[in-house]
Each structure stands twice: as C-alpha cells, then as structure tokens.
Amino acid sequence: MSREVVVKSGLFRYSQKIFVGSHVLHADEQGDSGGTDFGPNPYELLLAALGACTSMTVRIYAERKQWPLKSVEVRLAHAKIYAQECATCDTKEGMLDRIEREITLFGDLSDEQRHRLLEIAERCPVHRTLVSEVQICTRLIADHAPVPIAAKCGEKS
C-alpha cells in the first residue's frame, strides 16, 4: 500500500518540504526560475521517480532470473518539444513532453539478457503510469472548515 505524501510550503519563496512516511525531501526551483535551488524541481523529482522505478524493476527481474547484473544506472532528461518534431506521437499540434532515458547495465550479461532487461524497463510501474490515462482528483480544503469546499473528478462539493 502506498504511503501518504504530504507537501508543505517551505521557508523560501518556492521551496517545499515533502513528507513520505518517516522521510523528508525538499523541492525548489532553480535560481534562474526565482527559487533558491534548495532541492530538485518538480520535473527532476518526476524523473527521479521514473529512474528509481526503472532501476528497481530491472534489478528485481534480474535477481529472479539469477542473472549476473551488478548494477544499473539510469540517466534522464525532460524537455518540452513541438509536437511536429515527434513522428510517432498522436499529438500533432502544440507542445508535448519528452523524457529521454538512458540505461546502463553493468555485469557479465549476454546480449539477449540485456535486450530482455530493456524490455522489462519499459514495464516499470511509474513508466506505465506516465504513458497511461491518469485521473487526478483535486479537492480544496478550507483552513477553517473540515469539509471540502470545491471538488473535481465528478465529486460533489
């Protein structure tokens, strides 16, 4: 079961404190975006989630198969691109998000094992979430009342 994530505004202009169970993370914008670079920006956190999930998924599969995978390195970058630059995308107008992901597999693996691990990387749960339809339900909770005062996702307020 997933732990609740709580995000609270921090001490600086855009800084945020992120609580996940007993863990505390920080997020912020870079200085050129008005932040203090106190932590990764939201897109960097998204990339970190995808990279961590990719690496873990590949590791789990290799361990089950008892393959000699020593370690995994995942490098990621995010960019906004014009839709017409993407020949394989359904969207043909405006801008879209592109995530570049490079995976390095360390260990005495055969070409066949490496190919299979690349296929498995495409199946990591965060990757699947990012490429699937996602519904985000938002409720506004007033700081002075314990009941929602606005809702989305077909809920009544």
Instruction: Label each residue of 102-156 as H, E or C.
Output: EEEEEECCCHHHHHHHHHHHCCCHHHHHHHCCCCCCCEEECCCCCCEEEECCCCC
Nearest to 54 by CA among 133, 2, 127, 108: 127
**pTM (2 decimals)?**
0.86
* pLDDT at res. 94: 84
Which residues form the domain of 63?
40-157
One domain for residues 107 and 135? yes
Residue 126, both tokens: 């965060």
φ/ψ region of 79 (left if φ > 0, alpha if ψ in -120 to 50, else beta) reads beta
Alpha carbon of residue 148 to chain centroid: 28
Residue 127, both tokens: 């990757």
What distance in Å separates the CA atoms of residue 45 and residue 47, rounded to the nearest whole number? 5
Overall domain count for the chain? 2
Q: Are residues 111 and 151 in the same domain?
A: yes
Distances (CA, A) of 46 to 53, 56, 113: 11, 15, 28
Task: Write down the pLDDT at residue 7.
Answer: 95
What pLDDT is attached to residue 145? Answer: 59
Does 26 lie in the same domain as 49? Answer: no
pLDDT profile of the chain (157 residues), mean per 10: 88 93 94 91 96 98 98 96 81 86 98 98 96 90 64 60
